[in-house]
Structure 1
């Protein structure tokens, strides 16, 4: 089954931000779109808002006036569900209430032809549960757009237990024809994005609660070292803590209290205080006109060494050596176990152990651990931790070497796996379980995380790039340190490592 042809009428129910955005997408693609809302005049008002938004694009030279006029001519407000009877596809974007959605689709089933496809834009409810009261539940699927729908590329095409796979292919092809990047997923809690993304927020929140670093520093590390568009605190401030916390609680409850999805008390405190982020003027950061955004903690300049010794392979941090050489540092190479020595300091990429633990177990004095970077050649900042009792001169030598490479250096407390490494390995672990459970393919999981939340790389591809065995070792060390099921390793990850295969094999 191919995409719906342009003669197919599209119905959209719900004229809020999501419904209006979906209606705009379908109209811009060339369909006649009927927009319905139970609030009198809301659908017409939503179309007026679309007119204003498109008008700004015309004024900025980003859209032809003819294209705007054609889009608006295809948008039609309607006042009753009966007006949608001859639609080929009806997309529901009403409030996240299971009974309300069920009642709506039961009503639509009595009005529409048997060929009409039903889709819900739900982000948290089960497609299987929504479809259960229908006489023909196979015709209902999820079509989950991301906000703002005209801008965000990702669409999750969601199949419930009874959903017709042929209809899923039709919606996939239709979303693609509308200029989107669709992915297939089964209806499990959080689908792909809202499930796999939980560690991105959770690990930063935990690091904050444990005093590893402050919000500006942790955010800067995820951006400047990890390559993410935003850090977890600025992103949750943007989303709204009421929304983000509710999604986390929903996923946590849906998975019967799995500790991997445990909500954060730090975020709950913000919600309880009404500090919801940008929309309330205060979240982790203050957004008043007079407020100054605090900067990350950065170590002062240290003397720049001229020579360092590398013993063996530094693993994912190996590109750091060429960066040092580009800055005129003489790199002497020797055999060894992946260590970088400068003066009395020993530097190594974190393996998930605390610096104090690794120093003791491996017999390393003056140990400094490095965080993971998405690209050590392009990163502008690096996070480090060190063992207690490190010689101050050795610490200064290690910091000076990193600064010589052109990196701002932020010191975290002696915390296992630091910030970026912990976040990336937990994202990869959750993605591996999502793949193991047949929720989606590896390619669709990675595409969803790139297109839906703008990650610099899909978590499975990222794990393959730095090595599944390394990811597994980090997670084992995290779990051993905390003694919590939160950091248990995915069976698929363990299996692939034992088989010598990647996560994309």
Structure 2
């Protein structure tokens, strides 16, 4: 196993902005001598003072010993010239996102640091291969992508360019772990892991809003309270800034030569054109300010509790996709009886609940209207995926255009009596949580299939880098790869777009009866 850089060795950080200062704070607290450089001397002084204050706050909160805080401060120093980092074991660059500027910096550093010094870039979007290309020894340059705020965010993407020596990447990986981070290895491809795999979280939400599935606040509530995400996609885009989020999407789209999977949203472009950038402009999908009213979340009116519930199960499915919801219904006091599949339904129809004449399916990527027609059963209602059926507080439903009010209201009453707030989405394919999770899993699978990272790495990255409640591949395992592939295939058939093509690795796993984990 490759060892981390020795404690006490010099870590040089170039750039004293939020990222550079955060890296310096973490490295000094971990026992390394830190040399902080910026072209603006006053910025270095401010960063060091601010880091000292942060150590003080950690001491006040009981999260750092006072002696350790003093020692960390003593290990932190500013330098006036690049030449003053000559003795560094590693130099971490955290400057402007510009390829030419980064290349020039590392070219200068090559003439200053020793042969054993590792050169690391904190770039979030520029090819590590391209940054290293003009160096005399490109094998010692590696990506060390931290996430903001650095002291709080656990993830570090360790990015290897085509020329990066494996030993260099392994040393940086071990060093990041020694700093208390969760590092993951990745190959230098557009978006690396997180910025690539996260694209569907925003893209599917924007498409749902464009197709009027529901308003932004309602979709956010479904993603939080049913999907288990810490923030809904629209509030998160408002926090990031639509100019930034749209720019990243454009960058990934262009870098992949127009792959439709990464197509930017016209709606988000309009937000940028209007100057509705989110929190920083006072308006995005939400309004901000002291006088801004809280956006309402749409919920169905209370309905009467129905009687017993039946369930029909496809013979070879064993009720796997409905089992978590069946348990929730039983715990709410419903008697769930098993019966034959719908009369006239196809041989491989999925499991369904039956309530007052309504057939209630977990969404499979088709619309409720399409499923009603296929099954010759007008009173068809779909429910969306929930991260945790036992603990979710909200569920989303969609009704077929043919569905009667009485049948739909009985289904609403069924879920309300089981402790859910019920939100109705318009009848869009795949609903909200299910299509988002399927697309996240699909993108994660493609990243693994293309050798960008391992299945373990992509799940760690998405949990530690953007706080997803599950890694996308572990989530796909729990839903069932067969159902994920079905959802994606049905979305592709409905939209007729390559955007929803199924990853070859998903199909391979399914065909082999395998899972991504275990």
TM-score where L is the length of structure 1: 0.98
- Residue correspondence of structure 1 range 394-473 to structure 2 within 5 A: 394-473=407-486
CA offset digits 1:462-495 (Å, max 9, x no partner): 1111111111111000000000111111111112
- Residue correspondence of structure 1 range 220-239 to structure 2 within 5 A: 220-239=221-240
Please identify, of 9-18 and 265-274, the stretch whose mean Cα deviation from structure 2 is larger. Answer: 265-274
Q: Is the 8 A contact 1:138 1:163 kept in 2?
A: yes
CA offset digits 1:412-459 (Å, max 9, x no partner): 111000000000000000001000001101111111111111111111
Question: In the TM superposition, what is the alpha-carbon distance from 1:316 to its structure 2 partner?
Answer: 2.8
Q: Is the 8 A contact 2:369 2:402 kept in 1?
A: no
Match of 2:35 in 1: 34
Residue number among 388, 395, 419 corresponding to 1:382 in the alignment: 395
Please state whether the residue corresponding to 1:492 is helix, strand or coil.
Answer: helix
Distance 2:210 2:164 in 1: 43
Match of 1:298 in 2: 299
Question: In the TM superposition, what is the alpha-carbon distance from 1:402 to its structure 2 partner?
Answer: 0.6
Question: In the TM superposition, what is the alpha-carbon distance from 1:297 to its structure 2 partner?
Answer: 0.8
Distance 2:333 2:49 in 1: 60
TM-score where L is the length of structure 2: 0.96
Q: Is the 8 A contact 1:146 1:154 kept in 2?
A: yes
Match of 1:135 in 2: 136
Unpaired segments ≥5 residues, structure 1: none
Question: In the TM superposition, what is the alpha-carbon distance from 1:196 to its structure 2 partner?
Answer: 0.5
Q: Is the 8 A contact 2:321 2:351 kept in 1?
A: no
Please state whether the residue corresponding to 1:34 is helix, strand or coil.
Answer: strand
Unpaired segments ≥5 residues, structure 2: 342-349
CA offset digits 1:121-166 (Å, max 9, x no partner): 0000000000001000000000000000000000000000000001
Is residue 2:150 matched to residue 1:149? yes
Please state whether the residue corresponding to 2:41 is helix, strand or coil.
Answer: coil
CA offset digits 1:283-335 (Å, max 9, x no partner): 11111111122131100100011311111254333211222222211111224
- Residue correspondence of structure 1 range 256-405 to structure 2 within 5 A: 256-312=257-313, 313-336=318-341, 337-405=350-418
Aligned residue pairs, count: 505
Is residue 2:4 matched to residue 1:3? yes
Match of 1:114 in 2: 115
Distance 1:233 1:351 in 2: 24
Question: In the TM superposition, what is the alpha-carbon distance from 1:281 to its structure 2 partner?
Answer: 1.6
Distance 2:297 2:277 in 1: 22
Question: In the TM superposition, what is the alpha-carbon distance from 1:183 to its structure 2 partner?
Answer: 0.3
Q: Is the 8 A contact 1:314 1:349 kept in 2?
A: no
Distance 1:19 1:377 in 2: 43
Please identify, of 85-94 and 32-41, the stretch whose mean Cα deviation from structure 2 is larger. Answer: 32-41
Please state whether the residue corresponding to 1:414 is helix, strand or coil.
Answer: coil
Runs of 4+ in 1 over 4 A off after TM superposition: none
Q: Is the 8 A contact 1:192 1:448 kept in 2?
A: yes
Please identify, of 334-343 and 377-386, the stretch whose mean Cα deviation from structure 2 is larger. Answer: 334-343
Please identify, of 112-121 and 488-497, the stretch whose mean Cα deviation from structure 2 is larger. Answer: 488-497
Distance 2:481 2:170 in 1: 32
Q: Is the 8 A contact 2:322 2:351 kept in 1?
A: no
Distance 1:325 1:6 in 2: 57
Q: Is the 8 A contact 1:306 1:328 kept in 2?
A: no
Q: Is the 8 A contact 1:317 1:373 kept in 2?
A: no
Please state whether the residue corresponding to 2:422 is helix, strand or coil.
Answer: strand
Q: Is the 8 A contact 1:317 1:372 kept in 2?
A: no
Please state whether the residue corresponding to 2:120 is helix, strand or coil.
Answer: strand
- Residue correspondence of structure 1 range 18-57 to structure 2 within 5 A: 18-57=19-58
Question: In the TM superposition, what is the alpha-carbon distance from 1:365 to its structure 2 partner?
Answer: 2.0
- RMSD across aligned positions (CA): 1.2
CA offset digits 1:335-356 (Å, max 9, x no partner): 4341101112111101100111
Distance 2:290 2:57 in 1: 26
Match of 2:97 in 1: 96
Please state whether the residue corresponding to 1:122 is helix, strand or coil.
Answer: coil
Distance 1:487 1:344 in 2: 33
Q: Is the 8 A contact 1:13 1:37 kept in 2?
A: yes
